[in-house]
Amino acid sequence: MVKILQTLGYFVFSLFASAGVVYADAESVQEFIDSVALDEAEIAVGIYNFLFPIGLAVGFFAIIMAGYSYLTSQGQPDKVKEASEKLTSAILGIIFIALSLVILRIIVVSLLGGSLPLAT
């Protein structure tokens, strides 16, 4: 059964792979490259728009984990101190992530000459 599914998968893949073959001349290839090309500002904004929510999610998860550590410390001073340090670090991390939005806007606008809107 596995062999049949593998063969079927290879067949379907070969159909899609062969359908993507395009014969083109050099001018149309250059036009395609020019239409897809991104400048540095667009790349920086794209990477940031991808990583910003992930960083915030990790920060909020760290806050939740620090709160859980605090709740399960059972009043032991060393565990309470460790949990409060984790909570402080998580909050500072979220603040730095939020401030990175301002720093990236400054870099994109002044150094790379891009536009200001960052979709977050």
Each residue's pLDDT tens digit, 29-53: 666 666 666 666 677 777 878 888 8
CA–CA separation, 5 and 96 (whole Å): 49
**pLDDT tens for each residue of 14-32:** 545 444 445 555 566 666 6
What residue segments make up the domains of the chain, in order of their start? 2-111
Residue 82: which residues within 8 A CB-CB, separation 6 or more? 69, 73
Residue 117: its pLDDT value, please?
A: 54
Q: Please count the other Cβ atoms lying within 10 Å of the Cβ belonging to residue 68.
A: 12
Backbone dihedral angles phi then psi of residue 73, each to the nearest 5 degrees: -75, -15
Residue 120: its pLDDT value, please?
A: 47
Q: Please count the other Cβ atoms lying within 10 Å of the Cβ belonging to residue 48.
A: 19
